[in-house]
């Protein structure tokens, strides 16, 4: 059952081939069996899941069910879930029980989905390997000695191993797309403002965006449809009608103009990954798409720009965790100043502390103009590069990551090397455009992903292009050994 698509699961539920309770019990069984070797979940919500499944079965019996009624999912542990621990994989929030649901959680609950648990992640979404979690690293089901990518490593590992058909995720600089590429999944980051950030614990507010990871573009489209829409509680939410992503999946891509950014195919891309990308391009050509080289001249500046802007916003957002109102509170502090220092020193991990310090530095007097203000100017130049590119092409295609999944500890002592893992994904967040990753083959037995980037609110075109590619290939249908 874990190899069925969301549409197939929905058809099975509506056709009374199995109940939502049976389906939920099946996935809870797989979690009990495989989770110890993966560490992909922080919390399993079996009782809640079974109650939701029973409610879904009642809706199905009444004939009022929707396409997602009774379908299980996993929520990334960055989304607030009422009555359930929401930790952001940090000691700081280990005991935090959210008093309300994030908008994404509300929407998917309203769609009738069943929450199996909360996914592990890099602490406060800061990381590219899921090695910074206070609860320990997540293992890649394709090779348990390798990372699944980050920060949404728990979400992708769980879906890749068949512990759930779909999971929510977030993307600040590639945290949906990079781990999706390393685990043979489809992951989409929609346009900034398309999905509400209300109830999503903030890392970098102008970059964070919720999305989804699934086995196929069709599955991703179905769930993204339910997640998207205007939310007056989120000041960055865009009041614009949501396209019918699912209906657009049947369109031909003949005549589709795809740009190949030359800066993304320069030195640094592994030869084996380049070969898989080139093979994928040939498939798109056979489907009727045309290709042309484009230039995004400021994209090489995306990593240094990101690592000024994101830490600056993080230092501001995480200042609320001070040991006074909520979060970890030191038991050894004797003065207010000690309470601040010890609570934050004990509650935050090394990577989070590093980014807070960087952010505080670039925002400090005498350095704001030299670093933060300059970074915002370069960010505008990166946006202008994309704007010009989309005047002549419909989509952009590039690698998602420089190489396949690396082994644990490879970049542990070199933060800059770790940051460069997101070199192909960060620019889309800085510009706010939609982007997604889909599997395009394997190199030495490990998945390779390609990235599609679209113009603002053009998720339909992007998802359809990915769907048509997946109809012509079967890479996305392959499962890791031991989790079949």
- Across all residues in the chain, what is the average pLDDT? 96
pTM: 0.96
Domains of the chain, each with CATH number or no CATH: 6-254+434-477 (3.90.1300.10)
pLDDT recorded at residue 235: 96
- Of the candidates 87, 90, 133, 175, the residue annotated as catalytic is 175
Cis status, amide bond into 251, omega within 30 of 0: no
- Average pLDDT of each block of 10 consecutive residues along the chain (484 residues)? 96 97 98 97 98 98 97 98 98 96 98 98 96 97 97 98 98 97 98 98 97 98 98 97 96 97 93 97 98 96 96 96 92 94 96 96 92 96 98 98 94 76 94 98 97 98 98 97 91
- Of the candidates 20, 76, 128, 273, the residue annotated as catalytic is 76
Could you tell me how far CA 176 lies from the centroid of its own chain? Answer: 2
**DSSP structure string for 420-461:** GGGTTTHHHHHHT--EEEEEEEEETTEEEEEEEEESTT-HHH
User: Which residue from 78, 92, 90 is spatially nearest to 340, judged by alpha carbons?
Assistant: 92
**Tokens in use for 425?**
């994904």
Is residue 175 annotated as part of the catalytic site, yes or no? Answer: yes
How would you label 327-363 residue by residue, b for 16+ Cβ within 10 Å and e otherwise? bbbbeebeeeeebbebbbebbbbebbeebbebbbbbb
Is residue 76 annotated as part of the catalytic site, yes or no? Answer: yes
Residues 55, 27 contacting (CB under 8 angstroms): no
- Of the candidates 151, 152, 228, 439, the residue annotated as catalytic is 151
Q: At what angle do helices 459-472 and 271-286 cross, to 10 degrees?
A: 100
pLDDT recorded at residue 418: 79
Is residue 155 annotated as part of the catalytic site, yes or no? Answer: no
Question: Please, where are the H alpha helices in 95-232?
Answer: 103-110, 153-160, 177-182, 217-227
> pLDDT tens digits, residue range 404-446?
999 999 877 777 777 778 899 999 999 999 999 999 999 999 9
> pLDDT tens digits, residue range 227-264?
999 999 999 999 999 999 999 998 999 999 999 999 99
pLDDT recorded at residue 326: 84
User: What is the rounded distance in angstroms from the CA atom of residue 408 to the CA atom of residue 386?
Assistant: 34
In angstroms, what CA-CA distances link 333 with 94, 324, 344, 349, 357? 19, 12, 11, 19, 22
User: What is the rounded distance in angstroms from the CA atom of residue 460 to the CA atom of residue 454?
Assistant: 9
pLDDT recorded at residue 421: 81
């Amino acid at each position: 059952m874990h190899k069925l698509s969301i549409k197939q699961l929905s058809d099975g539920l509506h056709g009374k081939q199995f109940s939502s309770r049976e389906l939920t019990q099946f996935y809870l069984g797989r979690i009990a069996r495989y989770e110890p070797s993966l560490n992909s979940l922080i919390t399993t919500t079996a009782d809640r899941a079974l109650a939701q499944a029973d409610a879904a079965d009642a809706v199905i019996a009444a004939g009022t069910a929707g396409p997602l009624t009774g379908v299980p999912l996993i929520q990334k542990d960055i989304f607030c879930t009422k009555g359930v621990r929401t930790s952001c994989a940090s000691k700081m929030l280990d005991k935090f029980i959210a008093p309300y649901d994030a908008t994404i959680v509300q929407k998917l609950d309203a769609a009738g989905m069943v929450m199996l648990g909360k996914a592990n992640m890099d602490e406060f979404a800061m990381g590219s390997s899921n090695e910074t979690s206070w609860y320990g690293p997540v293992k890649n089901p394709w090779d348990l000695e390798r990372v699944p990518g980050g920060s949404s490593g728990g979400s992708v590992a769980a879906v890749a191993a068949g512990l759930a058909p779909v999971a929510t995720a977030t993307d600040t600089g590639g945290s949906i797309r990079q781990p999706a590429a390393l685990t043979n999944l489809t992951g989409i980051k929609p346009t900034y403002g398309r999905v509400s950030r209300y109830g999503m614990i903030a890392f970098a507010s102008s970059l964070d965006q919720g999305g989804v990871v699934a086995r196929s573009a069709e599955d991703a489209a179905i769930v993204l449809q339910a997640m998207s829409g205007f939310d007056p509680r989120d000041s960055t939410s865009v009041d614009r009608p949501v396209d019918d992503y699912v209906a657009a999946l049947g369109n031909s891509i003949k005549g589709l103009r795809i740009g190949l950014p030359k800066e993304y195919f320069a030195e640094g891309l592994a030869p084996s990954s380049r070969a898989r990308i080139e093979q994928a391009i040939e498939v798109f050509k056979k489907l009727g798409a045309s290709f042309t080289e484009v230039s995004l001249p400021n994209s090489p500046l995306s990593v240094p720009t990101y690592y000024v802007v994101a830490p600056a916003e993080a230092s501001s957002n995480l200042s609320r965790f001070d040991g006074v109102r909520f979060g970890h509170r030191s038991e050894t502090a004797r003065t207010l100043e000690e309470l601040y220092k010890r609570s934050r020193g004990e509650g935050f991990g090394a990577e989070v502390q590093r980014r807070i310090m960087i952010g505080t530095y670039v925002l400090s007097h005498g350095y704001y103009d030299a670093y933060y203000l300059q970074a915002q100017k370069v960010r505008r130049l990166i946006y202008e590069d994309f704007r010009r590119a989309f005047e002549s092409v419909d989509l952009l295609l590039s690698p998602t990551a420089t190489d396949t999944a690396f082994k644990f500890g490879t970049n542990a002592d070199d933060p800059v090397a770790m940051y460069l893992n997101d070199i192909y994904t960060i620019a889309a967040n800085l510009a706010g455009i939609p982007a997604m990753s889909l599997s395009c083959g394997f190199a030495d037995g490990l998945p390779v992903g390609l990235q599609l980037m679209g113009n603002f609110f053009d998720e339909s075109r992007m998802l359809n292009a990915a769907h048509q590619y997946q109809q012509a290939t079967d890479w996305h249908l392959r499962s890791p050994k031991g989790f079949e």
